[in-house]
Structure 1
Amino acid sequence: MATSDLKSIKLRMIYDNGVDENGKPLSSSKTYSNINYASTPDEILQAAQAVAGLSSRPLMLIEKNDSYGINA
Structure 2
Amino acid sequence: MATKVNLGDKVRISFDYGLDGNGKQIVKRKSFSIISGATDDQVYTAANNFASLCEKSLIEIEKIENYELQA
**Residue 66 of structure 1: CA displacement?**
0.9
**Equivalent residue letter for 2:50:** V
What TM-score, normalized by structure 1, do the two folds share?
0.90
Counterpart of 1:62, as a letter, is I
* 1:28 matched residue in structure 2: 28
Aligned positions, number: 71
Unmatched tracts of structure 1, length 5 or more = none
Cα RMSD after superposing both structures: 1.0
Query: What TM-score does the superposition give when structure 2 sets the normalisation length?
Result: 0.91
Runs of 4+ in 1 over 4 A off after TM superposition: none
How many percent of aligned residue pairs carry the same amino acid?
37
Q: Which position in structure 1 is the counterpart of 2:3?
A: 3
| Map of 2:46 onto structure 1 | 47
Listed as ranges, the gaps of 5+ residues in structure 2 are none
